[in-house]
Amino acid sequence: MKVRTLRMKDGFKEFAMFDEEGCLYTSETPQLLPTTATMEDLIKYHEMEDFETDFDKLEIVEFDLAESGVIGADIRNKLTPPKNLVSLLEVLFDNPESVDKDKIMKIIRKEMNATKKSVEYIAQLL
């Protein structure tokens, strides 16, 4: 899920927030903004509330928000077909005379197709 937050433009890139009186302060954790938030809207709001802020020091940035551990588990699951494919190829190359080549080639083809899908999924995820 994409989220937006306010951040200082300086070298430390600290997250920025406003308190109830419109005073700017920094934090180690982000204050989430609506996904439609823009700097222009933020400036307009602060002008309406008579808050004075130097917005040249600030930027709105977008982050990917993910539940801890979920993406890692998903990637691990998607790596199963490539691992299977490598194992099958090892069997084929290490013991070529002791394998039914037609049978193993069908299984390799199946794992190749699954590997293509997994790699595409991971590429889109990251």
pTM above 0.75, yes or no: no
**What are the pLDDT digits (tens) for 61-115?**
988 777 777 778 888 899 999 999 999 999 999 988 888 989 999 999 999 999 9
Residue with tokens 């588990």: 73
Domain boundaries, the chain: 2-64, 70-125
pLDDT at 126: 66
**What are the pLDDT digits (tens) for 42-60?**
888 888 877 778 888 899 9
Q: Using alpha carbons, select from 28, 36, 26, 25 the residue that is nearest to residue 2.
A: 36
Q: Is 80 left (phi over 0), alpha (psi -120 to 50) or beta?
A: alpha
